[in-house]
A and B are shown apart, each in its own frame.
Chain A
Amino acid sequence: MESLQTSTESIFEAFLDYSSGLFLVLDKSGRILKANAYAKQQLGKQIVNQMFDRIILDFYSTFELSAVERELEDSQPSDVVHALNVKHISGMPQTYLFRFCFTDKTIYAFGELNNDELESVRKEILGLNEELNNLTRELHKKNALLEQLNREKNQFLGMAAHDLRKPIGLAMTYSDFLIEEAGPILDEEQNGFLSTIHKSCVFMKRLVDDFLDVSAIEAGKFDLDLHPSSTFEVLEQSLRLNQLQAAKKDIRLKVQTPQDIPKVMMDASKIEQVITNLVSNAIEHTAPQTTVAIELSVKADHLVFSVEDEGPGIAPGELKRLFEPFEKTSTKKTGGEKSTGLGMVITRKIIEAHEGEIWVESVLGKGTIVFFTLPMTWRGHG
């Protein structure tokens, strides 16, 4: 009989040991005398001999076993449940539902995970994951559709701009020709009409050229014709185009460059387009009889180019919009010049294609500086 009892106890103990619940035996002071294998696995082997309240995270009140004992005087052990946050060996606390049983010398504590709660959380997370994945699928699908529409838009833009270029060019040339040849025999009003036609044609041609550039960039057909080029020559050529514009507003172009700069790998015509555009912008935004400063320097393995004007400056909130298509800042051009809203977009794309960087610094009332860099060690792609 005795051996059967011993055997039953040992079987019972073995089950307890491997059950997925924390089974702890404490003395009356709350010291852990014994812990089942699962408890040691979850909380660490060192829990034996620790005080019970040391294994729980108690944020706002102190958990007291004596209070539980008083509670149990009027209730069944199965009715008194305490949800306690236990310090898990992984470092992530886990909430166990604890039940206690008090005898003369010993306290038995049994903690189990709230499976219903875990199950509902698991279901919710799985549901959220599915929902998120369905949305991601939808997003990819919409994205592919948008990309297709964008390609079609660029194709249309490219075709339209290409077809418009020739008639605009003809109208521009002939209006220019008429101003020169027929100007002297026309009256002031008629000359004014011709001048407006010519200016509009110049603007339209610029717009069409910008459209063609943007459409090529967005269609990924923006190829660089890379050669080692002299930065001085590129700068000189660009400024030659800007001189006339500056002279009309009596603006001085102040150029500062170092003595010697080695040739740099670049698409010279595109960098010339960038410099012309930046200097032209500076001239347009600065008042007559002021200075636009152009500076070229070498910093580490980069060429740094800057254009500084004495214009009204750009508000900090508008700086980030400067490189967005068709965005125009509130800064007015001093000579009433028109902008396509694409120049800075194209400029940035050209610089980025050269693996350079472009940025703007501006102080309201003082002026704006546009910087760009070109890596001197870059050999180009492919």
Chain B
Amino acid sequence: MIAQEVYDQYFNALLKGDRVRCTQMVQTLLDQGIDIQVLYRQLFEKSLYQIGEMWEQNLISVAREHLVTAITENLLNLVYPFLFSQRKLERKVIISCAANEHHQIGGKMVADIFEMNGWDSYFLGANTPTDQMISFIGEIKPDLVGLSLSIYFNVPSLQQGIEAITREYPELDIIVGGQAFRWGEISFLKKYSQVQYMKSIEDLENQLKKE
């Protein structure tokens, strides 16, 4: 559990773009043995959602939002020495952002959550062309594909991606999630029987623990 006071200090440093202070705070939490999943949910995810809301309300600029995202993405590197040394299951997942989707941090955090739960995750990054994703699926043969979407007007790209995957690999399970669906409509996903929507990192974790 991250104390509100610690979160507030971190958030203020993040908002100011104080990368050094944020790094120190995350490193201290890691040295204190914080649960990585708690760090992801209560610090990284929470602060990014809060920043996203501030941007939506025009309280911060696009540039500031990008700076905050870039800092958070750098902070994830501090966690990786702990993350990848965990016990592995024989399960593989490919996480990708839809084509034209330039926000990758949410998808990357989802890939990390899979790693924490013993999966072997492959993260393809932002704006992955659909044909490249299809060919990578053929190469890796994953048990699951996750598609991340941050901006709702990229829904057509997401649908295109889902349809391409289901055409080539009709049996392959797909999960979708991301900031885009916080206020957006998700009913269009109902027509794809193998697609499941994940509302948050917590939902995903609960689902993974059930398996």
Residues of A within 8 A of B (CB): 122, 126, 129-131, 133-134, 136-137, 140-141, 143-145, 147
Report the 10 A-B pairs with minimum CB-CB distance, sorted nearest first: A144-B84, A140-B80, A133-B73, A141-B84, A136-B77, A129-B70, A144-B85, A134-B125, A140-B84, A126-B66
Known: A129-B70, A130-B73, A136-B77. A147 touches B125 (CB 8 A): no
Out of B74, B81, B83, B85, name the residue touching A129 (CB < 8 Å): B74
Out of A122, A143, A145, name the residue touching B66 (CB < 8 Å): A122
Q: Is there contact, CB below 8 Å, between A143 and B104?
A: no
CB distance from B178 to the nearest CB of A (A): 16
* A126 cross-chain contacts in B, Cβ below 8 A: 66, 70
Out of A122, A133, A141, A143, name the residue touching B76 (CB < 8 Å): A133
* B85 cross-chain contacts in A, Cβ below 8 A: 144, 147
B63 in the interface (beta carbon within 8 A): yes
Q: Is there contact, CB below 8 Å, between A137 and B70?
A: no
Decide if the interface of chain B is mainly helix, strand, loop or mixed: helix
Q: Is there contact, CB below 8 Å, between B84 and A130?
A: no
Q: List 30 A-B contacts (CB under 8 A).
A: A122-B66, A126-B66, A126-B70, A129-B70, A129-B74, A130-B73, A130-B104, A130-B125, A130-B126, A133-B73, A133-B74, A133-B76, A133-B77, A133-B108, A134-B108, A136-B77, A136-B80, A137-B77, A137-B80, A137-B108, A137-B123, A140-B77, A140-B80, A140-B81, A140-B83, A141-B80, A141-B115, A143-B84, A144-B85, A145-B84
Considering residues A122, A140, A147, which has the most beta carbons from chain B within 10 angstroms of its beta carbon? A140
Cα distance A48–B77 in the bound complex, in angstroms: 48
Q: Scoring B residues 114 to 132 as 1 if CB is less than 8 Å from chain A, else 0, what string do you get?
A: 0100000001011000000
* A131 cross-chain contacts in B, Cβ below 8 A: 125
CB distance from B140 to the nearest CB of A (A): 14
Cα distance A133–B104 in the bound complex, in angstroms: 11
Out of A129, A143, A147, name the residue touching B73 (CB < 8 Å): A129
Cα distance A122–B83 in the bound complex, in angstroms: 30
* B104 cross-chain contacts in A, Cβ below 8 A: 130, 134
Q: Nearest CB to that of B74 among chain A residues? A: A133
Cα distance A147–B82 in the bound complex, in angstroms: 13
Considering residues A134, A143, A147, which has the most beta carbons from chain B within 10 angstroms of its beta carbon? A134
Q: How many residues of B contact A (CB 8 A)?
A: 18
CB distance from B122 to the nearest CB of A (A): 9
* B74 cross-chain contacts in A, Cβ below 8 A: 129, 133
Known: A129-B73, A140-B83, A144-B84. A134 touches B66 (CB 8 A): no
Cα distance A236–B61 in the bound complex, in angstroms: 75
CB distance from B76 to the nearest CB of A (A): 7
Considering residues B66, B77, B80, which has the most beta carbons from chain A within 10 angstroms of its beta carbon? B80
* A147 cross-chain contacts in B, Cβ below 8 A: 85
19 further A-B pairs in the complex, CB-CB below 8 A; given A137-B80, A140-B83, A144-B81: A126-B66, A126-B70, A129-B74, A130-B70, A130-B73, A130-B126, A131-B125, A133-B76, A133-B77, A133-B108, A134-B108, A134-B123, A136-B80, A137-B123, A140-B81, A140-B84, A144-B84, A144-B85, A145-B84
Q: Nearest CB to that of A145 among chain B residues? A: B84
Cα distance A40–B84 in the bound complex, in angstroms: 52
* A129 cross-chain contacts in B, Cβ below 8 A: 70, 73-74
Q: Is there contact, CB below 8 Å, between B126 and A137?
A: no
Considering residues A126, A130, A147, which has the most beta carbons from chain B within 10 angstroms of its beta carbon? A130
CB distance from B20 to the nearest CB of A (A): 16
* A130 cross-chain contacts in B, Cβ below 8 A: 70, 73, 104, 125-126
Q: Nearest CB to that of A144 among chain B residues? A: B84
Cα distance A145–B83 in the bound complex, in angstroms: 12
Cα distance A129–B74 in the bound complex, in angstroms: 8
* B66 cross-chain contacts in A, Cβ below 8 A: 122, 126
Q: Nearest CB to that of B75 among chain A residues? A: A133
Q: Nearest CB to that of A133 among chain B residues? A: B73
CB distance from B36 to the nearest CB of A (A): 13
Cα distance A147–B115 in the bound complex, in angstroms: 16
CB distance from A195 to the nearest CB of B (A): 50
* B81 cross-chain contacts in A, Cβ below 8 A: 140, 144
Cα distance A133–B77 in the bound complex, in angstroms: 7
Cα distance A307–B149 in the bound complex, in angstroms: 67
* B123 cross-chain contacts in A, Cβ below 8 A: 134, 137
CB distance from B112 to the nearest CB of A (A): 8
Cα distance A134–B124 in the bound complex, in angstroms: 8
In chain B, positions 115-168 with a C-beta closer than 8 Å to chain A are: 115, 123, 125-126
Cα distance A141–B81 in the bound complex, in angstroms: 8
* B125 cross-chain contacts in A, Cβ below 8 A: 130-131, 134
Cα distance A144–B81 in the bound complex, in angstroms: 8
Known: A126-B70, A147-B85. A137 touches B63 (CB 8 A): no
Q: Nearest CB to that of A134 among chain B residues? A: B125
CB distance from B146 to the nearest CB of A (A): 15
In chain B, positions 38-93 with a C-beta closer than 8 Å to chain A are: 63, 66, 70, 73-74, 76-77, 80-81, 83-85
CB distance from B95 to the nearest CB of A (A): 11
